[in-house]
């Protein structure tokens, strides 16, 4: 059964990558973009996206094809086969979703922080900001998860300080507007 699952998975992987590349070629020849538009920004560039997209499609095809062997176990009920197939394919689906969620979150927060950094310090220092962000991403990806969450909580708490100072500084303005 394992040999059959691997054979189906590898065959499906090759078919999925070939179909994905063929579809991308047709789209490009028709004057379109070869990768999914939002995926280019999430992947970090068109070359990376063009490389990752077929691999991810192949990976998903591998999991689903390998999991289809479970439907051929005759002594199992349809419910057992379905739940086993779900158990095989759900981790792949969740991993792909987490990949997109993590990278889109990093990119989104990067651009949000970049606009604030530019407003505070000007455009000249943006390369410094980019280096700091990359350094924090690299360091954060090597630390233990509990420490990363503790640091995230700390920095979120520290963001309250400038907001509280601004509220105190503007309290006179708020009272003056309220009296009018």
Widest Cα–Cα separation across the chain: 80
**Is pLDDT at 78 greater than 80 in this prediction?**
no
Tokens of 60: 């998903």
Digit-coded pLDDT (tens) for 91-126:
877 887 888 888 888 888 888 889 989 998 999 999
pLDDT band at 35 (very low <50, low <70, confident <90, very high): low
Digit-coded pLDDT (tens) for 132-162:
999 988 888 888 889 988 998 998 899 899 8
Digit-coded pLDDT (tens) for 52-66:
777 777 777 777 777
CA-CA-CA-CA torsion sign (32, 19, 97, 156): negative
Mean of the pLDDT values across residues 19-29? Answer: 72
Task: Please give the share of the chain, as a percent, with pLDDT higher than 90.
Answer: 18
Q: Tell me, what's the pLDDT at 174?
A: 87
Beta-carbon contacts of 42 under 8 Å, excluding residues fewer than 6 positions away, are 49, 100, 103, 104, 107
Report the range out of 12-21, 47-56, 118-127 with the highest average pLDDT. Answer: 118-127
CA-CA-CA-CA torsion sign (101, 104, 110, 113): negative
Beta-carbon contacts of 61 under 8 Å, excluding residues fewer than 6 positions away, are 12, 13, 15, 16
pLDDT band at 39 (very low <50, low <70, confident <90, very high): low
Distance of CA 124 to the CA centre of its chain: 29
pLDDT band at 129 (very low <50, low <70, confident <90, very high): very high
Q: Tell me, what's the pLDDT at 168?
A: 92
Tokens of 25: 């070629």
Alpha-carbon distance of 37 to 136, in angstroms, equals 27
């Amino acid at each position: 059964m394992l040999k059959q699952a691997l054979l189906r998975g590898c065959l499906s992987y090759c078919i999925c990558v070939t179909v994905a590349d063929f579809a991308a070629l047709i789209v490009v020849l028709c004057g379109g973009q070869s990768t999914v538009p939002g995926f280019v920004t999430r992947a970090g560039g068109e070359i990376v996206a063009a490389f990752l997209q077929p691999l991810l499609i192949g990976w998903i095809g591998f999991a689903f094809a390998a999991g289809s062997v479970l439907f051929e176990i005759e002594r199992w009920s349809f419910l057992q086969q379905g739940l086993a197939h779900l158990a095989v394919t759900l981790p792949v689906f969740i991993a792909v979703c987490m990949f997109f969620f993590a990278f889109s979150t990093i990119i989104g927060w990067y651009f949000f922080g970049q606009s604030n950094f530019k407003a505070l310090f000007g455009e000249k220092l943006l390369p410094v900001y980019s280096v700091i962000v990359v350094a924090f991403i690299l360091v954060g990806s090597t630390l233990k998860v509990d420490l990363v969450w503790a640091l995230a909580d700390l920095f979120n708490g520290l963001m309250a300080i400038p907001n509280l100072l601004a509220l105190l500084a503007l309290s006179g303005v708020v009272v003056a507007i309220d009296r009018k």
